Amino acid sequence: MSCCAKQKKETPDPTPNPSFEEPSIHEDYKDFERDPFFAFIPQLGRWAGGIVTNELELATKGIVSAPSFTSKFLKGSYAFYRANPNILFREILSGFTVAIMQVPESIAFSFVAGVPPLSGLQATWWMAFITGIFGGKPGMISGAAGALAVVVTRLTASDGVLSYLTTDERLNVLYMTMFVCGIFQIGFAWFRLAKLVRLIPETGMIGFMNGLAIIIFMAQLPAFQYCTAEPLFVQCTVEQRQWLTFSGQPLELSLVLVHVVCCMAIMKFWPKTPKVGKWIPASLVALLVGTLIE
* CA–CA distance, 160 with 239 (Å, rounded to integer): 14
Average pLDDT rounded to a whole number, residues 60-71: 80
Tell me how long the chain is.
294
Q: What pLDDT band is residue 6 in, cutting at 50, 70 and 90?
A: very low
- The residue type at 67: P
Mean of the per-residue pLDDT values of the chain: 77
* CA–CA distance, 233 with 236 (Å, rounded to integer): 5
- The neighbour count for residue 174, using CB atoms within 10 Å, is 19
**Is the pLDDT confidence value at 170 over 50?**
yes
**Is the pLDDT confidence value at 2 over 80?**
no
Is the Cα dihedral 238, 244, 249, 252 positive or negative?
positive
Supply the pLDDT for residue 1: 47
Task: Indicate the pTM of the whole model.
Answer: 0.54
* CA–CA distance, 212 with 208 (Å, rounded to integer): 6
Supply the pLDDT for residue 162: 82
Average pLDDT rounded to a whole number, residues 211-216: 77
Q: What pLDDT band is residue 212 in, cutting at 50, 70 and 90?
A: confident
* Nearest alpha-carbon partner for 267 in 277, 254, 258: 277
Average pLDDT rounded to a whole number, residues 117-123: 80
8 A C-beta contact, residue 257 and residue 283: no
* CA–CA distance, 145 with 56 (Å, rounded to integer): 31
Reduced to 3 DSSP states, what percent helix, strand and coil does the chain have, rounded to the nearest 5?
A: 70, 0, 25
